[in-house]
A and B are shown apart, each in its own frame.
Chain A
Amino acid sequence: MSTTITLTINGTERPVAVELGDSLLEVLRREGFTSVKHGCDTGDCGACAVLLDGDAVDSCMILAISTDGRAVTTVEGLETDGHLHPLQQAMIDTGAVQCGFCTPGTVMTGIDLLSRNTDPTQDDVKTALAGNLCRCTGYVKQVDAVLAAARQMKGGPDA
């Protein structure tokens, strides 16, 4: 049974048709937000992480129908005036992107952390990324990227 909800995706409010059993992940991919990746369907890998009203969630674990009226941010919505978000740029600069399949989810989780903690330690970052599995990097350069983005966003020496 299909029903229509209203979602604000990357700042644009839109009606979205959903089936009762659809996950937010399925709906976002269907709507063309393919940065939201399908890695496990059980909330373990984090490749589908998005911001829901500002908080990072695994979108495969959220029933789409429960998100009526809420706001979703994906990686597609981060670029402003042709500029990448500092964390996106830091992921490139530190060499943190290998296959890139986990990258969008990791970026969204990192942004969630940076919104709550502007001066994270290495351990803070590792704890925050605990739910974003990466098989390529060993997390070394991903952690560096989040720390570099934090410095950049504070206007620090890496700015």
Chain B
Amino acid sequence: MPDPVDPRRFAVVGHNEPKVDAYALVTGKPVFAGDASSDGALHIAFLASTHAHARITSIDTSRAEALDGVSLVLTHENTPATMYTTAGQGFPEPSPYDTRMFNPTVRFVGERVAAVAAETPEIARAATKLIDVAYETLPAVLSIDEALAPDAPIIHGEDEATGIHDAARNIVSVVDVDIGDVEAGIAGSAVAVDTTCETQYAQHVPIEPHVVRAYLDNDGRLVLLTSTQVPFHVRRIVARVLDLPVHRIRVIKPRVGGGFGVKQEILLEDVTGLVTLRTGRPAVAELSRPEEFVSSRTRHPMRVRVRLGATDDGTLRAVAMDVISNTGAYGSHGLTVMSNAGSKTLPLYNRAPDVRYRGRTVYTNLPVGGAYRGYGATQGYFALETAMDELAVKLDMDPVEVRRRNHIRVGETSPIFAAIGEGKPGVEQTVGSCELERCLDIGVEEIGWADKRGARRRDGPWVHGVGMSIHMQGSGIADVDMGAATIKMNDDGSFNLLIGATDLGTGSDTILGQIAAEVLGVPLAKIVVYSSDTDMTPFDVGAYASSTTYVSGNAVRRAAEQARAQITAVASAMLEEDAGGISLRGEAAIGASGNRVTLEEIALRSLYGSDQEQIGATASFVGDESPPPFLASFAEVAVDTETGQVRVVDYVAVADCGVAINPHAAEGQVEGAIANGIGYALTEEMLISGHGRVRNPTLFDYKIPAAPDLPRIRAILVDSYEPTGPMGAKSVAEIGINAPIPTIANAIYDAVGVRLRNSPFTAERVLAALDAVASED
């Protein structure tokens, strides 16, 4: 049952407040890192490796340095050898320290070999071509299978690297979990399914590529204005790499032009900062679109095998998931993305007493994996929800019904919650809110499931089908990630809200402001939100792991409640009434008697009158659990049986994200995630040559969905209330992206009877699958 708390009682929360940054964005104010003036700045360009695996035997920068306008050339010979990880995670990062600023051995085509700082971008780019590099090529590993071969070349044999599970076998990380006896469970089941799915190299494609501007402030401190999701991790990691005290660095996050995980990575800040420290001049680095594709980060491609055992009424008895994740040349997020392929998927089906998870992350000489919205769950759900569909087919049951029989419910738990964490064990938790049944009811109705499933409606060569899948994610990393917020009251009864939480376009500044406004009884306009400046705001781990609404939101709620208590105490003195009877609403404190005093009067008294003090508070929050949002996903597709082309005709995504603090923003998260997932399902794939070179690093050749490619995605939010969330909220940002691959694969099966197990489902792959079935007949 949903909590009896009715979200409609809120004055600000639950309302479609316009985004606090919307005016600046629609009027084109210079709010992004690349918009800052670059007058007097040096421009940085990179030279990239042309080999997948090679030792640099010599590097001669003299011709580049001699070019007029070149200020500095950086290579492995004149930069710090400190080992670190580029993954912007909490300390100590659960990713291996397997890279340095410039590596003397290059491990993928596109790895940076040198950087040039020059007066103009053109000069910098020209100078990179004057750097003479001699390589001794090494045998390269270009697939998961090659990485795991007994005699595979070793990719990280260097002594300095730490945190690698088994470097000699190219294994970055391992997770093994056994609950019960899965082999006996499967063997004893009436029905069994065994399916293996593989996902491709894909890139986040934020429309704003990575960009950083560095300069020295008047005290000689290094300031980094950077398009990042993790300003505090940037400060800590850059301090380590550049051997600076943390207090000598200030990181400012302006507006960010999309991140989706790729900006949870320290890619440019170290080099840009070093150029500024060496030259004393401002410096700017901005990735080109091809560099963004090849040299930044990607989604880890995975091979996921799922085996299910079930009774003949469709109740799961055993679930086994075996994951091999390809992290590419460096182990950024290698352990944790792989872990999440299991930890964010397996608890969904908690009926099975026997559960097994096997995860391996391997190095290859290919582009580097990183955090990407969904974070492993996306890959895991492809196989899990394909297997569930296959189970339904074997049982001749409605796929919706098979899910209904097995999904987790309120008051229930899963041993996987405690078994798999992020670099350490997870935490036990009991689900406090789950409206998945209602999500399914709505989805079935909206898509027209009963009429369309199995109907195979024909329209010329096009055959229609419907598919579905269900999902959960988390809300932050329990027991690891902390967010903090500071609130202070101003003369006019307004408040500054200072947060380390990192709005990368999601609207988190707005929804965190709404939470504060709700507690303090003021309109959102009276909350001045300032986020993500390591000098000015309290700590926050940043925007990842679906954490901001829940973790940072709870910190804001706490800080606001503490400020509210101080305000109430002043009001109590002013009204001569018991503080316990005083509430804040309409920008006033109202006593039990009905007498009122305005917040402005309270502020003026506290700042200038008597018992003077700054009303305000700082509060922190770490989740001791990570409440999962839930999603039921339904799609209708049309498959062109002559060409193999797949068109998504209708998409319904019904989400339980607790109370939606700002429904427009929450819907937008689901709509955008589904759109991104549809691209991932149908067209997006980094094509890689036999030499490890990405062949399509442009937006012409790597096709992300444009407006005409998509149906009107229907995001529906169900009423729900998460007891531990701020105002009943939990997360919503990632979950949607997990859905389209299995939903569309299952819809293709419904339409034409072929099972697609390798994404993306391009026309070529679908046609080949259709041909294979035809030749069997």
Hey, which bits of chain A sit against chain B, CB under 8 A?
33-42, 44-45, 47, 74-76, 78-79, 84, 88-89, 91-95, 97-104, 107, 122-123, 125-127, 129-143
Contact with A along B1-40 (1 / 0, CB 8 A): 0000000000000001011011111111111101100000
A33: B residues at CB distance < 8 A? 28
Residue B708, interface by CB 8 Å:
yes
Q: CA separation between A98 and B506, bound complex, in Å? A: 6
B288: A residues at CB distance < 8 A? 41
B671: A residues at CB distance < 8 A? 137-138, 140-141
Q: CA separation between A126 and B662, bound complex, in Å? A: 25
Neighbour of B708 across the interface among A40, A45, A126, A140, CB < 8 A: A126
A130: B residues at CB distance < 8 A? 706-708
Task: Determine if B710 and A139 form an interchain contact, defined as CB atoms under 8 angstroms apart.
Answer: yes
Task: Determine if B19 and A139 form an interchain contact, defined as CB atoms under 8 angstroms apart.
Answer: no
Q: CA separation between A84 and B21, bound complex, in Å? A: 15
CB nearest to B19 among chain A residues = A97
Task: Determine if A133 and B665 form an interchain contact, defined as CB atoms under 8 angstroms apart.
Answer: no
8 A-B pairs with the lowest CB-CB distances in the bound complex, closest first: A35-B28, A99-B505, A95-B664, A100-B25, A101-B257, A138-B675, A44-B699, A138-B671
Task: Determine if B30 and A34 form an interchain contact, defined as CB atoms under 8 angstroms apart.
Answer: yes
Task: Determine if A139 and B27 form an interchain contact, defined as CB atoms under 8 angstroms apart.
Answer: no
Q: A95-B664, A129-B707, A136-B672 are in contact. Are A101 and B18 (CB under 8 A)?
A: no
Q: What are 18 contact pairs spanning A and B, CB under 8 A?
A: A34-B29, A41-B288, A44-B700, A74-B28, A92-B26, A97-B19, A97-B21, A98-B258, A98-B507, A98-B668, A100-B24, A101-B258, A107-B26, A127-B707, A135-B204, A135-B672, A137-B671, A138-B710
Task: Determine if B699 and A45 form an interchain contact, defined as CB atoms under 8 angstroms apart.
Answer: yes
Neighbour of A135 across the interface among B18, B23, B26, B704, CB < 8 A: B704
B405: A residues at CB distance < 8 A? none
Task: Determine if A126 and B707 form an interchain contact, defined as CB atoms under 8 angstroms apart.
Answer: yes
Q: CA separation between A96 and B483, bound complex, in Å? A: 27
A102: B residues at CB distance < 8 A? 207, 257
Q: A42-B698, A95-B668, A141-B668 are in contact. Are A100 and B26 (CB under 8 A)?
A: yes
* Distance of A60 from chain B, by nearest CB (Å): 11
A143: B residues at CB distance < 8 A? 707, 712
B209: A residues at CB distance < 8 A? 39
* Distance of A24 from chain B, by nearest CB (Å): 16
Residue B634, interface by CB 8 Å:
no
Q: Quick one: which of A37, A78, A122, A131 has the most chain B CB within 10 A?
A: A37
* Distance of B678 from chain A, by nearest CB (Å): 8
B676: A residues at CB distance < 8 A? 135, 138
Residue B174, interface by CB 8 Å:
no
Neighbour of B289 across the interface among A35, A41, A84, A134, CB < 8 A: A41
Task: Determine if B258 and A99 form an interchain contact, defined as CB atoms under 8 angstroms apart.
Answer: yes
Residue B108, interface by CB 8 Å:
no
Task: Determine if A99 and B208 form an interchain contact, defined as CB atoms under 8 angstroms apart.
Answer: yes
Q: CA separation between A138 and B740, bound complex, in Å? A: 13
Q: CA separation between A84 and B19, bound complex, in Å? A: 15
Task: Determine if B504 and A99 form an interchain contact, defined as CB atoms under 8 angstroms apart.
Answer: yes
Size class of B's contact patch?
A: 35 or more
Neighbour of A139 across the interface among B18, B258, B675, CB < 8 A: B675
Q: A34-B28, A99-B258, A107-B26 are in contact. Are A140 and B505 (CB under 8 A)?
A: no
Task: Determine if A104 and B28 form an interchain contact, defined as CB atoms under 8 angstroms apart.
Answer: yes
Q: CA separation between A33 and B675, bound complex, in Å? A: 30
* Distance of A14 from chain B, by nearest CB (Å): 18
A75: B residues at CB distance < 8 A? 26-28
Task: Determine if B25 and A103 form an interchain contact, defined as CB atoms under 8 angstroms apart.
Answer: yes
Neighbour of A38 across the interface among B34, B665, B668, CB < 8 A: B34
Task: Determine if A97 and B27 form an interchain contact, defined as CB atoms under 8 angstroms apart.
Answer: no
Task: Determine if A92 and B18 form an interchain contact, defined as CB atoms under 8 angstroms apart.
Answer: yes
* Distance of A26 from chain B, by nearest CB (Å): 9
Neighbour of B208 across the interface among A88, A91, A101, CB < 8 A: A101
* Distance of B294 from chain A, by nearest CB (Å): 14
Main secondary structure of the interface of A (DSSP, over half): loop
Task: Determine if A135 and B205 form an interchain contact, defined as CB atoms under 8 angstroms apart.
Answer: yes
* Distance of B298 from chain A, by nearest CB (Å): 15
Task: Determine if B289 and A100 form an interchain contact, defined as CB atoms under 8 angstroms apart.
Answer: no
Task: Determine if A37 and B207 form an interchain contact, defined as CB atoms under 8 angstroms apart.
Answer: yes
Task: Determine if A138 and B674 form an interchain contact, defined as CB atoms under 8 angstroms apart.
Answer: yes
CB nearest to B292 among chain A residues = A40
B207: A residues at CB distance < 8 A? 37, 39, 45, 47, 99, 101-102, 133-135
Q: CA separation between A47 and B289, bound complex, in Å? A: 13
Q: CA separation between A102 and B707, bound complex, in Å? A: 13
CB nearest to B673 among chain A residues = A138
Residue B156, interface by CB 8 Å:
no
Contact with A along B273-305 (1 / 0, CB 8 A): 000000000000010110000000000000000
CB nearest to A136 among chain B residues = B672
Q: A37-B257, A100-B26, A138-B705 are in contact. List 6 more A-B contacts (CB 8 A).
A: A34-B35, A38-B34, A97-B25, A103-B25, A127-B708, A141-B664
Name the interface residues of B186-245: CB closer than 8 Å to any CB of A.
Answer: 204-209
B208: A residues at CB distance < 8 A? 37, 39, 99, 101
Residue B256, interface by CB 8 Å:
yes
Q: CA separation between A125 and B289, bound complex, in Å? A: 27
* Distance of A101 from chain B, by nearest CB (Å): 3
Q: A42-B698, A122-B712, A138-B674 are in contact. Are A94 and B664 (CB under 8 A)?
A: yes
Residue B260, interface by CB 8 Å:
yes
Residue B667, interface by CB 8 Å:
yes
* Distance of B705 from chain A, by nearest CB (Å): 8
B35: A residues at CB distance < 8 A? 34
A79: B residues at CB distance < 8 A? 27
Q: Quick one: which of B18, B668, B707 has the most chain A CB within 10 A?
A: B707
CB nearest to B17 among chain A residues = A95
* Distance of B12 from chain A, by nearest CB (Å): 16
B16: A residues at CB distance < 8 A? 95
Q: Quick one: which of B26, B208, B209, B710 has the most chain A CB within 10 A?
A: B26
B179: A residues at CB distance < 8 A? none
Q: A41-B289, A91-B22, A99-B255 are in contact. Are A139 and B707 (CB under 8 A)?
A: yes
Task: Determine if B258 and A136 form an interchain contact, defined as CB atoms under 8 angstroms apart.
Answer: yes
CB nearest to B205 among chain A residues = A135
Q: Quick one: which of B34, B255, B706 has the most chain A CB within 10 A?
A: B706
Q: A142-B707, A143-B712 are in contact. Are A92 and B23 (CB under 8 A)?
A: yes
Q: Quick one: which of B18, B31, B255, B260 has the most chain A CB within 10 A?
A: B18
Residue B713, interface by CB 8 Å:
yes
* Distance of A41 from chain B, by nearest CB (Å): 7
B673: A residues at CB distance < 8 A? 138
Q: CA separation between A59 and B22, bound complex, in Å? A: 24
Name the interface residues of B98-157: CB closer than 8 Å to any CB of A.
Answer: none
Contact with A along B480-510 (1 / 0, CB 8 A): 0000000000000000000000001111000
A88: B residues at CB distance < 8 A? 26-27
A127: B residues at CB distance < 8 A? 707-708
CB nearest to A44 among chain B residues = B699
Task: Determine if B21 and A100 form an interchain contact, defined as CB atoms under 8 angstroms apart.
Answer: yes
Task: Determine if A95 and B672 form an interchain contact, defined as CB atoms under 8 angstroms apart.
Answer: no
B29: A residues at CB distance < 8 A? 34-35
* Distance of A18 from chain B, by nearest CB (Å): 14
Q: CA separation between A100 and B24, bound complex, in Å? A: 9
Task: Determine if A99 and B256 form an interchain contact, defined as CB atoms under 8 angstroms apart.
Answer: yes
Name the interface residues of B545-587: CB closer than 8 Å to any CB of A.
Answer: none
Q: CA separation between A89 and B662, bound complex, in Å? A: 18
* Distance of A4 from chain B, by nearest CB (Å): 19
Q: CA separation between A55 and B747, bound complex, in Å? A: 41
B506: A residues at CB distance < 8 A? 98
A92: B residues at CB distance < 8 A? 18-19, 22-23, 26
Contact with A along B660-692 (1 / 0, CB 8 A): 001011011001111110000000000000000
B27: A residues at CB distance < 8 A? 35, 75-76, 78-79, 84, 88
Q: CA separation between A94 and B662, bound complex, in Å? A: 12
Task: Determine if A84 and B26 form an interchain contact, defined as CB atoms under 8 angstroms apart.
Answer: yes
A126: B residues at CB distance < 8 A? 707-708
Task: Determine if A131 and B30 form an interchain contact, defined as CB atoms under 8 angstroms apart.
Answer: no
